Amino acid sequence: AGALLLARLVALRQALLSAGRRSRARLRWTGVTLAVLLLMVATTRPALLDDGNRQGETAAAGENLNVFLVVDQSTYSGVDDYGSGAPRIAGMRDDIAALIKQYPAARYALVGFASKASLDWPLSEDVWSLRPIVAALGSQNASPDANAGAADNVLRYQLIQATQQYPGSRNMVLYFGSGAPGSRAPQGDFNLMRGSVAGGAVLGYGRTDTIDESELHRIAAQLDV
């Protein structure tokens, strides 16, 4: 921004010194400068909105908190038994959105998994840009042989990295899934570094006859949440 403004001041000096066509030069300078200012406003808008939201809070809920969202995106999350016939992933989206609203000052990371896991959103405090990512979450057209513990390696690495990058911060893990009921694939374990998780929860989705609660309890014990 500083470099652009300096360049426009130099251009203004040249426009004022130009002979014969000052009026046209000034109009051209005004138009280009206005475009530059609009570009600056557009690129800083997310940060300005985020700062404004935080200033309006009595307390920065979630400050210095790293929240890891581990979301089951297997075919099990596409089963239509949430609410009045919506897919389970819709319930996960609603709960994640509510969580972000409650803790707007936290940093968030999103790990999606089915038979394998991937980091879909790196740890960041840019909740303004995270919201549309969450709103677009859906189940993958993958094999039904999901692995409820597939996110182990990705999550473990991200927790270690967060501890190093943000000393003194707390790591929270929120797991969203149904426990991969009926999957024929071997179910992995979460082997996280001791003390790397300060808290969190495992949220289960599905009717009592279509959810593996014992598997979810096992995952909660491994995550120590």
What's the pLDDT tens digit per position in 69-81?
A: 999 999 889 899 9
pLDDT at 30: 82
53-108 per-position pLDDT tens digit: 554 444 467 788 999 999 999 988 989 999 888 999 999 999 999 999 999 999 99
CA distance linking residue 141 with residue 72, whole number of Å: 12
Instruction: Calculate helix-pair angle for 127-135, 22-55, nearest 10 degrees.
Output: 80
Sheet of 199-204, strand order: 117-124, 107-113, 65-72, 170-177, 199-204
Question: CA nearest 65: which of 201, 200, 219?
Answer: 200
126-176 per-position pLDDT tens digit: 999 999 999 988 877 566 688 999 999 999 999 999 999 999 999 999 999
pLDDT at 58: 43
SS3 97: helix
Task: Record the pTM.
Answer: 0.72
Q: With contact defined as beta carbons under 8 Å apart, do 193 and 156 qualify? A: yes
